[in-house]
Structure 1
Amino acid sequence: MFNSKLMNAFPKEYSEEVKFILNKLPLKALKTQISNSFKVSINHEEIYIPERIYFREISKKLYDKFTPVQKTIIDCIYTRHENGFIREKYLYNLLKRGHCYYWITPFFVKLSGEYVIEILNLLKNYTSQLDDIFIRMFIEENKEFYNLVEQRIISYWNCYYRGEFPVKKQYVGFQLIAYYKYCLLQRTSASH
């Protein structure tokens, strides 16, 4: 059951790669290994990405044997891990590799709407590694999803970080919102 949940987290054109990876991941036959999913659209294909995964981390020795595309898929999967340190580690892998595929965009944007400030800072520090066009395309294709992420950024700031960052623009979440708005404006600027 959870294998199908992970299969649905990536475009169908990567099904064989995902299947191969799923046979290598430390999965157990428990329904609680993967939480509910959120829906996004990638080139008009519906993708269902888990909110959280609850299985242990893949070994480095095994991870190192995968191809770059397979590592990218694994990194995306582990950015949904219940442990924030593991999410941060695999996000870092993705950012270092670069924003080379449109389909990894929701994994970046979703992390923007989380409360772990270290993850938000990592994203902000690597916005130069993100593809502004992919970001713009994704937000335009997933307006409701993006609006929810933006609302979460505001809520987490208000709940956890308002005292530390009373001026909104000082909070990294609002800096990410500004970056996303910049990406959206690029189309407007380019068409004039």
Structure 2
Amino acid sequence: MAFPAELAGDAEAVASVMPASRLLPAAPFSVVVEGQQVLIPERLYNDEPPADAVTSLSSRQRQLLHCLYSRHCDGVVRQRHLEKIVGSTDPWVVPFVVQLVGEYVLEILIVICDELRDLAAPGTGGHLAYGQFIVDNPAYFARTQRRVVSYWSCYYRGTYASFQGYPGRTLLDLLRSAASDRAGHSWPNLAPVASRVDGYC
């Protein structure tokens, strides 16, 4: 249920090579992808499949596997699989990347920021795909914006004294730009002004 219905066969092939989960997946979050509601796990606890099982999958199936393991409970595993998909503009990949924008691992934010800089260029595949996803999921993106600010305030003030220099803020600016162009109007910026940031955390 984490992907649009037309990918069900590929998703089943991926599930067949994944080791059994050590724990139940954390409750999923719901977003809309190409007009369909999908349910993406908050966290997965499956070990990674062996290399030969992965190579037996098609390229599309490997893409879905990397999407799922970007939700893994281990941040190193999440980053490793993110790096395989972050350059994709396929609409079902987008929510997996945006979810990581709203999380707390700085190294992952930097990977995303480095890869998604072309979002500033109207008409590119990424600009269109990410802009459409945000337009289709405004409440979800509003929550993502708030989480980015909160995690910066809780964990990264020592490294980035100003929110303006934080990689998560750069990503939010890029995503809002894409959404603004897609929507035809300025997308709301929910980052607090400097005088109110101290109220976070």
TM-score after normalising by structure 2:
0.84
Corresponding residue of 1:86: 77
Is 1:71 the counterpart of 2:62? The answer is yes
Is 1:184 the counterpart of 2:184? The answer is no
What is the Cα deviation at residue 89 of structure 1?
A: 0.2
Q: Percent identity?
A: 29
What is the Cα deviation at residue 173 of structure 1?
A: 0.6
* In 1: Cα distance, 2:63 partner to 2:171 partner: 22
CA RMSD of aligned residues (A): 1.5
What is the Cα deviation at residue 128 of structure 1?
A: 4.1
What is the Cα deviation at residue 184 of structure 1?
A: 1.9
Where do 5+ consecutive residues of structure 2 fail to align? 120-125, 186-201
* In 2: Cα distance, 1:58 partner to 1:51 partner: 19
What is the Cα deviation at residue 78 of structure 1?
A: 0.1
What is the Cα deviation at residue 17 of structure 1?
A: 0.9
Contact residue 99 and residue 129 of structure 1 kept, 8 A: no
Contact residue 33 and residue 55 of structure 1 kept, 8 A: no
Corresponding residue of 2:32: 41
What SS does the corresponding residue of 1:23 show, helix, strand or coil? helix
Corresponding residue of 2:194: none
TM-score after normalising by structure 1:
0.88
Of Structure 1 and Structure 2, the greater helix share is in 1
Where do 5+ consecutive residues of structure 1 fail to align? 1-7
What is the Cα deviation at residue 60 of structure 1?
A: 2.0
What SS does the corresponding residue of 1:9 show, helix, strand or coil? coil
Contact residue 13 and residue 57 of structure 2 kept, 8 A: no
